[in-house]
Structures are given as structure tokens and as C-alpha cells.
Amino acid sequence: MKFGYFDDNACEYVITTPKTPLPWINYLGNKEFFSLISNTCGGYTFYKDAKLLRLTRYRYNNVPYDNNGKYFYIKDETDKANEVIWNPGWQPVKTTLDSYECRHGLGYSKFSSSKSDIKADVLTFVPMNDNCEVSKITITNNKKEDAKLVLFSYVEWCLWNADDDMKNFQRNLSTGEVEVTNDGATLFHKTEYRERRNHYAVYGVNTKVDGFDTSRDAFLGAYNGPDSPDAVAAGKCTGSVASGWSPIAAHQININLKPGESKTFIFTLGYIENPEDDKWESHGVINKKPAYALLDAYKTEEAFDKALAELNDYWKNLLGIYHVSSSNEKVDRMVNIWNQYQCMVTFNMSRSASYYESGIGRGMGFRDSCQDLLGFVHLIPDRARQRIIDIASTQFQDGSAYHQYQPLTKKGNSDIGSGFNDDPLWLIAGTSAYVRETGDLSILKEMVPFDNDMSVAKTLMDHLKCSFNFTATHKGPHGLPLIGRADWNDCLNLNCFSEHPGESFQTFGPSEGPVAESVFIAGMFVKYGEEYAQLAELLGDDAEAKRAREEIKKVYDAACTAGWDGEWFVRAYDANSNKVGSKECEEGQIFIEPQGFCVLAGIGVKEGLAEKALKSVEERLDTKYGVMILQPAYTKYHLELGEVSSYPPGYKENGGIFCHNNPWVSIAETVLGHGDRAFEIYKKTCPAYIEEISEVHCTEPYVYSQMVAGRDAKFFGQGKNSWLTGTAAWTFVNISQYILGVYPTHNGLSIDPCVPADFGDFTLTRKYRGATYNISVKQNGAQKGIKKLTVNGKEISGNIIPYEEGVKEYTVEAVMG
Ligand code: BGC
Ligand code: NOJ
């Protein structure tokens, strides 16, 4: 069942009922000011940091779902005896609407609804260059008589620190402060401004108002929720000025409309920071000049439309960097629109704020951010460059790294510390992707601190060397890399032995054990070790490249021997040197990660192990909804394995379909030239391909979720944790670089698609190092292999289009076969 449809021309997903299985959300904002917005107008807003500078309140873990947002209420008083109150997004009043539509687009959301011949159109976005969210609401009277309406706005302020806001009531119920100007049209939230803050929030509308409220209790009534505000029922606000308790901002606008007449209003929700020495207008009165300037900038429809056009242009340019036209409309819409859009959202949010990540938990993940980079480096290389430097600055001198860092301070997070032994190698992955994309070798010579201490700075290339050496010098009894607290699979905690509830699986126990080893890290070392060696060569250090390849060879051999179980790769060795992910195990006999990663790294290809490993994946892990992470799922808690066995079978890391590593297997299939199978795996988790089963899948049909419940779970096929997942980057890498086969190498773009036999011809535009490549591929029914490659009319040998400085246009014709 579907709850909407894709409108590819508009780059929108159109939701046609508010009753989606879960809230289906969108992200607004590109730089520093962000909002989450759901299809029922739920969500919240923050500036830079979802924990520390949250503007509006949201209620996680509450009923009903999606509780609190930025709402408009319409009270239709035309027919006194049959007054009706409704919201354009249906929530929170939930009056049955005569029509409803929500369009989530690129950085904006649009709602069009009607009730009793009154239509409301709401369009909300965050402009490119200001710290605010603007909403234009147009109310139209389609009745045959004059309409008498009252429009209310409503936002509930968060007292900035979202964590403290939901815990520290003994203080917070007394600190709330507001100011009101323009007879209530401009409402200010200034809690803590009088002491240590130099910022406040403002909510204004570009018209005179007929009333306002700033006290939640006054507007809603102490025992009501936003579903039944007293003020709306009464048809008028109370003019409350909050002092303590819960400050809000609500406007009241009385509207009379002739038949066919419309009125439009623009609401602006903004964040203002004042210089320390210019905080006050007079004693206790905040300096409002910058707030008025902001409201002024968006007070006309022309200004609003111009800012929206800027936003649209921004996305159009960005998404023009990689654009495919094939005979598969679902591939095209994911590649050209939604997959890249989701990659940008992971750039902005990392894993901080979604409907499943509360915005107060983890900061930026070291491994997560490095992998996210693989999905957006072609879009925003300059910002990716800075991101790499920020991440590398949290590395330690021995090559290990803080597992997370805080976006505001960019400092490593000592609560979680280090000891996740895959982390160092992801830095090589991200840096290599950046250099292959841009050709900018200067980043490798950039001086970068360790643990943010500039006095011990070294070049980025030296950081990569530390990463490489960390793995090379931390090996266990089988010559495989030590796992530490965990590798990519946070829940495989082989040195933890946690026996009591509440202990963090990941930080409990020693960060390093001398025995437990990871075959997955072995795969990473072979893959990214080689990328490190290539960077060394580019810098002219052939000796280092040679040394690296000798180290890689050792790990390659260990993976093919101790890491091989007969039909597939072993997952790990535990602290007692017992195999994990082996036919010898009672549960958890085969894991996806080493099969995908070892094969994509090329391990066992020439020995015939790779074919076998992928066959085993197909036989043992595949389902109709994607490839499960392990089988059989753990039915008992295994003290020696940790969190992985804590989840009920079929969920999360215990046998769920972890979407993040499905593309690894798909890429691995392309390495072996299996286009049919690679694409089959791609399709199983691809949102556009499973839109039809939205009632099973539940999460948004336009973005990937972190996890889909596996075969052992009661709700097999149900998605969870949409939006903020490394799946976005890896699926984009898979489809764009391996399946469609346009891969940036150090010497230029390589063209080597691996597609299903019936895929058909396709064309592609790729902008790369300042040039535009217009590529057309004739497939000839082949799954892999280029038999002829013509560049600007000349046939070339090999797959790589030589990059020539100064050439701005490349016409590329590739014939497969
Ligand atoms: C989750 C993982 C997550 C980890 C780190 C675990 O409970 O299952 O998916 O990566 O916590 O916060
Ligand atoms: C989610 C985490 O963000 C990511 O770092 C990890 O690799 C996966 N879970 C798997 O455990």
C-alpha cells in the first residue's frame, strides 16, 4: 500500500494522507539553522547544535506520535452553529479534512488542505543565508458566502539546552522570560539572556494581529494539550506575558474573506545573536534591531519567493553534479534526487537529530562521518575538506581516535573515548575519496593536530600513516587485526563481558584485549591500505607504498587462512580465540560484514573464495527484504559477544537487515561481475522499489532506514531509524560508482558499469574537477566489461578517461560487451 507518490519533476514526495504508518519527515536548513518537519507539521528547530541550542520543544517518547510542532489553527466561525477548528497538517486537532496533501521537497515542505470550502496552503523553508524558518500561509475562501475566520499560530519554546529542558524542572519552571512588541505581532523568547546567553529567539508575522499569547497555560489551558487550546476554542488569545513556566509564541489574526478571496501571511521564526557589548536596548530590554532586520527581510511575498528560488537553484546545481537517465525511473529518482539529498542530510546531521535520534545523545561519529563523506564529497568538496581536517584533529598520536566528537567544540568526546579499532582506517577511506574526487594533494600536507593539540601537529598524510600503522601493529594470535571495543559492528563487544543492566556495552570492559580479532578490519585494511599506498605514491614515496603493500599482503594471507571458514569468511575471534561467525558456532554462524568487505577489497577473488562467500550469503542471509546481518540469530545472551546477542532475534545487529552493509555485498558482486545479483540486492532495500509496501516497511519511502527487521522478527520487513544512517552514503557509492560504474580515480574518471542483463542503455552527466562529462553507455546485454571507449571522438584504451587540465567538456561513449 502507498500513502503518496513521487513527483519527480518537482523533486517532491507527495503524501496524500496524514495517517502514514509513522511520521514521515523532511529536513529544512543547509548551514547552521535547521528544522525537522513531519507530514503533520510536527518537528522542531535548532541552531547549530540540536542539544545545546534548541529553539522549540519536541516530545520524544510520547503519545500520540509526533507530539509538538509549529502549528497553525484555523477557526471557521462562518456558520456560528457549526464552527469548526482544524489544522492544515491535520495534527494536533485531527479534524477530518476534506482534502490534504503534504509535499516534501528539497529543503522545503508544502501543505495544502481544505475544510468546509476554506483552503489553506502552507509553505515552509529555511532560507540559504539567514538563521530563520519562514512560512507562508495563504487562506482562500471557496465558499459562496463571506467567510469569518480566525487564524492562530503556535510554537512552544525550548529553554535552549534540550537535555536540561526535559529534566531540570525545579529550575526551569522559574526561568522563562519573553518580550512582546508591535501589539503582539513580534514575540521574543529570551530565557537566560539576562545572564550567560547572548542569543534569543523571535517569532513574528508580517501583519497587525488581533491577539497573542506567550504563556502556554494561558493559551492551551493547564490541562489541555495542543489538540484543544482554550484560546482557539474561545476564538481569541488572552494577551498573556509569560513569566517562568512554559513560554510559547501564539498569534491571533481575524480574517474576513469574500467568496474567492485569499489572504497571505508570512511568519518568521528566527535565532538572533548579539555582540556581548550590545545586548541591551535599555535595562532589561533586549536589543531587537537585528530581529527587526530579519523580519523585514522576509515581510513581502516577493522576498519570500526570491529566497525560495535561491534554495531551489542551490539544489538544482548540486544535484546536477551526478545525473543519470536510464530506462529505470526508480533508479533515476533515487540517484538524481533522494539518495543524494539524504547524503546531504547526513552531512548536516551526522547521527544527531532525527525522529529516532533525540538530538541530545551522540555527537559526530568518527567512523560515521568518514563514511558519510563518501556520499557527499562530490557535492561539496570544500566542506568535505574541512570535515576531514576536523575529524583527523580528534585522532591520537598512536593512530587510534575518539569514537565521537562534539560539533560545536569539535573536541573528542571523552565519555566514550577510543578503542573502536576500525575507526583509524575510515580516515584513510574519507581522505582517499576526497583526493580522488578533487585531485587536491595539498590536503595531505596540511598540518593537523592530534587530540586538538596544535603543538603536536603533523601532516594529514602522517595521520594516515598513524592510522595504517595502528592496524599493522595491533594484531592478534592469528595475524588478524585486534577488534578493541568493537569494529563497524558496535554491538560485537568481544572484550566487554557485561553482566549487569545499564552498563554500556561499548565502554564496559577494557578498550583493548590482546586476543579478540576482526576479519572485517582485515578486509578494511586490505582495501584502505591499498588506497593509502596509492596516496604515498602520489606524494612520491614509493618506499612507503612498498612497505604498506607488504603489510597488506600479510593481512590478506591471514584473512584467506585463519579468516576462512570453508564456505565463507569468519567474522572474528573472541577473547578466548574461539571463532565467531563460523559453522562451528551454535548461533551466529555467518555474518555479512566480512563477506561483503573482504570481497569488495578483492580478498579471495583469485583463490575462488570470494565466489563461495557470496554464494553462502545468498543461501543463508538473503531474504525478500534484503540481506540479514547474521544467521542464525542469537536466541541466548552470549557474555563473550556482548550487545549483538542482547537484541531479540531479527532486530538490529542480531539478525536484522542492516541496510548499511547490503551495498557492500552488492559492490562485492560487481567486483565479480555479477550485474544481475548486484542490482537485485540494490533493489531490495531501495526505498523507491519498496514504496508499494509502505504499510509493511512503515518508514519514509524516499529515504533509507538504518534497519529493516529480519526474518526472525515478528515484524519482518518493518523499517526503523530512517534518515541518519551510513546506508545513504554506501548505497550512493554502490549505485553511482559500481553499478552505474563511474568511479573517480587519481588519474581521472573510470567507466566500468556492472548492470543486470536487461538494464538497457543509459546516459549520465558527471561534473568532475571543473569539467562536465556527458557519458553514454550502450549496454548490449552485457553485465560488465567495456569493449570500446571513445572520448571526444577518439577511441582510448582502458577504462579511465585521462583527465586533461583545461578541458571543460568530455563526450564519452562507452560500449559494453
Ligand atoms: C545500536 C547500534 C549503535 C550503538 C551506538 C547500539 O545500541 O544497536 O546500532 O551503533 O548502539 O550507539
Ligand atoms: C550505527 C552506528 O552509527 C554505526 O557507527 C555502526 O557502524 C552501526 N550502527 C552498526 O553497529
Q: Kindly report, residue by residue over 700-727, the tens digit of the pLDDT.
A: 999 999 999 999 999 999 999 999 999 9
Q: Hey, what's the cell of 807?
A: 578541458
Give CA–CA dist 87/619, Å, rounded: 51
pLDDT of residue 723: 98
Alpha-carbon distances, residue 643 vs 357, 496, 646, 653 (angstroms): 19, 9, 5, 8
Nearest Cα to 422, choosing from 476, 467, 377, 479?
Answer: 467
Question: Residue range 213-234: average pLDDT?
Answer: 98
β-pairing verdict for 742-745 and 748-751:
antiparallel
In Å, the largest CA–CA distance within the chain is 88
Q: Hey, what's the cell of 700?
A: 519514509
Mapped onto helix, strand or coil, the DSSP state of residue 379 is: coil
User: Does residue 631 register a pLDDT over 90?
Assistant: yes
Question: Residue range 304-323: average pLDDT?
Answer: 98
User: Does residue 510 register a pLDDT over 90?
Assistant: no
pLDDT of residue 122: 99
pLDDT of residue 511: 81
pLDDT of residue 272: 98
Question: Which stretches of 406-518 are assigned E, i.e. beta strand?
Answer: 447-450, 453-459, 517-518
User: Are 685 and 662 contacting, i.e. CB atoms less than 8 angstroms apart?
Assistant: yes
β-pairing verdict for 771-778 and 809-816:
parallel
Mapped onto helix, strand or coil, the DSSP state of residue 784 is: strand
Question: Residue range 278-287: average pLDDT?
Answer: 98
Quickly list DSSP for 220-275: H-TT--TTS-HHHHHTS------BSS-EEEEEEEEEEE-TT-EEEEEEEEEEEE--
**Ligand 2 atom closest to Cα of residue 362:** 3
User: Does residue 178 register a pLDDT over 90?
Assistant: yes
The overall average pLDDT reported for the chain is: 97
pLDDT of residue 803: 87
Ligand closest in space to the Cα of 724: 2
Question: Residue range 613-637: average pLDDT?
Answer: 98
pLDDT of residue 361: 85
Alpha carbon dihedral 59, 65, 68, 71, in 10-degree steps, equals: 170
Give CA–CA dist 450/508, Å, rounded: 25
Ligand 1, atom 4, lies closest to the CA of: 490
pLDDT of residue 728: 98
Question: Residue range 235-260: average pLDDT?
Answer: 98
pLDDT of residue 410: 87
Q: Hey, what's the cell of 134?
A: 519562514
- Hey, which of 653, 658, 660, 727 would you mutate to test ligand 1's pocket, going by the most ligand atoms within 8 Å of its Cβ? 653
Burial of 465 (0-12, 13-18, 19+ CB in 10 A): buried
pLDDT of residue 30: 86
**Ligand 2 atom closest to Cα of residue 351:** 3
Question: What confidence tier does 362 reach under pLDDT thresholds 50, 70, 90?
Answer: confident
Question: What confidence tier does 415 reach under pLDDT thresholds 50, 70, 90?
Answer: confident
User: Does residue 228 register a pLDDT over 90?
Assistant: yes
pLDDT of residue 509: 85
pLDDT tens digits, 666-694 = 999 999 999 999 999 999 999 999 999 99
- Residue burial 404-436, b: 16+ Cβ < 10 Å; e: rest: bbbbeeeebbeebbbbbbbbbbbbbbbbbbbbb
User: Are 384 and 358 contacting, i.e. CB atoms less than 8 angstroms apart?
Assistant: no
- Hey, which of 488, 491, 597, 707 would you mutate to test ligand 2's pocket, going by the most ligand atoms within 8 Å of its Cβ? 488
> How far does the centroid of ligand 1 lie from the alpha carbon of residue 46, in Å?
24
Burial of 382 (0-12, 13-18, 19+ CB in 10 A): exposed
- Residue burial 630-659, b: 16+ Cβ < 10 Å; e: rest: bbbbbeeebebbbbbbbbbbbbbbbbbbbb
Residue that has been written with the C-alpha cell 598513524 in this structure: 466
pLDDT of residue 197: 97
> How far does the centroid of ligand 2 lie from the alpha carbon of residue 426, in Å?
13
β-pairing verdict for 579-580 and 447-450:
unpaired
User: Does residue 14 register a pLDDT over 90?
Assistant: yes
Question: Residue range 46-56: average pLDDT?
Answer: 96
pLDDT tens digits, 523-570 = 999 999 999 999 999 999 999 999 999 999 999 999 999 999 999 999
pLDDT tens digits, 384-399 = 999 999 999 999 999 9
User: Are 710 and 657 contacting, i.e. CB atoms less than 8 angstroms apart?
Assistant: yes
User: Are 112 and 228 contacting, i.e. CB atoms less than 8 angstroms apart?
Assistant: no
pLDDT of residue 280: 98
pLDDT tens digits, 93-132 = 999 999 999 999 999 999 999 999 999 999 999 999 999 9
Question: What confidence tier does 190 reach under pLDDT thresholds 50, 70, 90?
Answer: very high
**Ligand 2 atom closest to Cα of residue 725:** 3
pLDDT of residue 265: 99
**Which residues are paired to 448 by β-bridges?**
458
Angle among Cα 599, 601, 602 to the nearest 5 degrees reads 65
Angle among Cα 323, 327, 331 to the nearest 5 degrees reads 55
Give CA–CA dist 670/668, Å, rounded: 5
User: Does residue 512 register a pLDDT over 90?
Assistant: no
Peptide bond into 687 cis (omega under 30): no
pLDDT of residue 476: 98
> How far does the centroid of ligand 2 lie from the alpha carbon of residue 490, in Å?
6
Query: Which residues form the catalytic set?
Result: 490
CB of 437 within 6 A of ligand 1: the answer is: no
User: Does residue 40 register a pLDDT over 90?
Assistant: yes
pLDDT of residue 409: 84
